[in-house]
Amino acid sequence: MSLQQLVERALAGDPVSRAKLVSLFSDTRPEATFDRMEAEEIAQKAQKPHECAFVGCTGAPGVGKSSLLSALVTRLRKQNQARLIAVLAIDPSSPFSGGALLGDRVRMALPEDDSGVFFRSQAADRELGGLSPATFQVCRMLRYLFDLVLVETVGVGQSETDIRHLADCVVLVVQPMVGDDVQLLKAGIMEIPDVIVMNKSDLTPAANQSFRALQTAAVRLLRPTDRSKVTTHRASARTGEGIDDLAALIADTRSNTDRFSEAETYFFEKAVRREFGTYGLDVLEAQGGAERVIEQRGFYEAQRWFARQIVV
Ligand SMILES: Nc1nc2c(ncn2[C@@H]2O[C@H](COP(=O)(O)OP(=O)(O)OP(=O)(O)O)[C@@H](O)[C@H]2O)c(=O)[nH]1
Ligand SMILES: [Mg+2]
């Protein structure tokens, strides 16, 4: 099958072609860059202009990110069958095998036999920042294939802030009774979320007390996107509490094309740092910086051109 056919079939909703195409974008080897560029050009030509919003879901391990996303996807699909949804879950990599543990694939109970939902997990591959090295690449293609992309990040700490650069809305999930989560809000994670959800609110009475503490802690937080107030919500993936409100909030998220070009700059720079270290960053700086290089050459050409600069 030609690349042209693969992209056309994926755009028409064929699950096998979609999976193959996403695999091409998961490939971080430079040799695949040309195919990715071509695939994106084909998609751009074939696809009518449409909006794709990115929503990030982040939070400490075990707070219920996957359970919450499953409940939300099920709800969103029931509400609007026309809206195609992709879920990208970043798994912590095993330090021994280097492979993903695939825990989320097991825990996520996404609607079966629904070709309007696509799931893919990616190994974090020792990358700091909470995403995988190929996450941004994959998102480039997902935006042609789907209307909404939900990304579950690995853990959350002060360094796992990459999702902020990718998502139009970031949801931070916390759970009751964990003082550390409220501590986290004070410790620097406040730069990240637009929305904070306390999941497992079925665990009363701990939930009531924790939610009040959370509201107090969040009262001064402002959304990084528009500086309006960060909202706090109670939810339970188990009982379904709060799922309707959250689903509505996610359905209302609008994509921001400026953010996408900022993301290009950020992830390009990050890839340069990963591949070539501070030497690479110095070379990039000497060429006017990532933004300028992308502006002059385009995202793909910038990568290939940069790789040539660094070899000579
Ligand atoms: N009581 C209760 N338990 C929940 C709820 N949501 C999730 N859980 C449980 O919490 C555990 C972790 O849920 P996950 O959805 O896997 O959490 P996660 O944040 O995706 O975990 P990692 O991906 O490993 O970081 C599971 O045992 C769930 O059954 C909830 O609303 N209430
Ligand atoms: Mg999970």
CB 33, CB 303: distance < 8 Å = yes
Q: Whose CA is nearest to atom 21 of ligand 1?
A: 62
pLDDT of res. 133: 82
Query: Which ligand is the nearest neighbour of the Cα of 60?
Result: 1
The residue to mutate among 65, 67, 93, 122, having the most atoms of ligand 1 within 8 angstroms of its beta carbon, is 67
Q: What confidence category does residue 71 fall into, taking pLDDT thresholds of 50, 70 and 90?
A: very high
CA of 59 to the centre of ligand 1 (A): 11
pLDDT of res. 173: 92
Q: Could you tell me if the CB of 176 is within 6 A of ligand 1? A: no
Q: What confidence category does residue 130 fall into, taking pLDDT thresholds of 50, 70 and 90?
A: confident
pLDDT of res. 234: 96
Q: What confidence category does residue 107 fall into, taking pLDDT thresholds of 50, 70 and 90?
A: low
The predicted model scores a pTM of 0.91
The residue to mutate among 102, 105, 107, 175, having the most atoms of ligand 1 within 8 angstroms of its beta carbon, is 107
pLDDT of res. 15: 93
Query: Which ligand is the nearest neighbour of the Cα of 109?
Result: 1
Q: What confidence category does residue 99 fall into, taking pLDDT thresholds of 50, 70 and 90?
A: very low
Q: Whose CA is nearest to atom 30 of ligand 1?
A: 200
- The backbone torsions φ and ψ at residue 89, rounded to the nearest 5 degrees and listed phi first, read -110, 125
Q: What confidence category does residue 111 fall into, taking pLDDT thresholds of 50, 70 and 90?
A: confident
Q: Could you tell me if the CB of 236 is within 6 A of ligand 1? A: yes
CA of 288 to the centre of ligand 2 (A): 40
Question: What percentage of the chain reaches a pLDDT higher than 90?
Answer: 54
Q: What confidence category does residue 106 fall into, taking pLDDT thresholds of 50, 70 and 90?
A: low
Out of 43-52, 90-99, 112-121, least confident range: 90-99
Which of these, 183, 188, 187, 156, lies nearest to 171 by C-alpha position?
156
Q: What confidence category does residue 225 fall into, taking pLDDT thresholds of 50, 70 and 90?
A: confident
Q: Report the nearest atom of ligand 1 relative to the CA of 89.
A: 23
The average confidence (pLDDT) of the chain is 87
pLDDT of res. 97: 46
Which of these, 44, 78, 72, lies nearest to 300 by C-alpha position?
44
Q: How far is CA 66 from the centre of its chain?
A: 13
Q: Whose CA is nearest to atom 2 of ligand 1?
A: 200
Greater confidence, 280 or 219?
Answer: 280
For range 168-181, the mean pLDDT:
81
Query: Which ligand is the nearest neighbour of the Cα of 70?
Result: 1
Cβ neighbourhood burial of 309 (10 Å; 0-12, 13-18, 19+): middle
